[in-house]
Structure 1
Amino acid sequence: MLKILHILLTITVVSLAGYSLITMDFKFQPYMMLFLSLTMLVMGLREFKKGNKGSGVLGIVAFSFCFFVSIKIFLLN
């Protein structure tokens, strides 16, 4: 389940980033950051499930930072 969710979130992030790069239209950047943070959360949970606590904590910290940045961008716009 986490693997499928990870793949879907990664495809979403790459699609939004590719669209922004090609069209130079950055209005979807907050959504990209939100999906990136969710991707980091899923990656951290998968690492915890595998038993890699160090990588899991790093994924959760990356989730927290990206989530905070995406919320900050949503509030500024």
Structure 2
Amino acid sequence: MSKSYVVVTYDVCEHNDLYEDMNEYILDSSAGMEEQVKGFAEQDIAPLVKVYETASSDFGELTLYKEYKFKEFECDCEQ
């Protein structure tokens, strides 16, 4: 059984206690994971992106596979 990967982008602001998911994407297995994750982060301006893997076709049971942080999209508010 092949594994599938789901990407979730998150909006995070420590100053405002904000941590919310924004969008979900399915990774294309024929393309590079790093490039796709970076593209989703840029599209959503997301400082945090998590990749989950699943062995089922219905995406019922997800396991955290990898987490990416993008400093260039972090909140720059001071309060």
More strand by share: 2
TM-score higher than 0.5: no
More helix by share: 1
Give the number of the structure with larger relative contact order, counting CA–CA contacts within 8 Å between residues 6 or more apart: 2
TM-score (normalizing by structure 1): 0.27
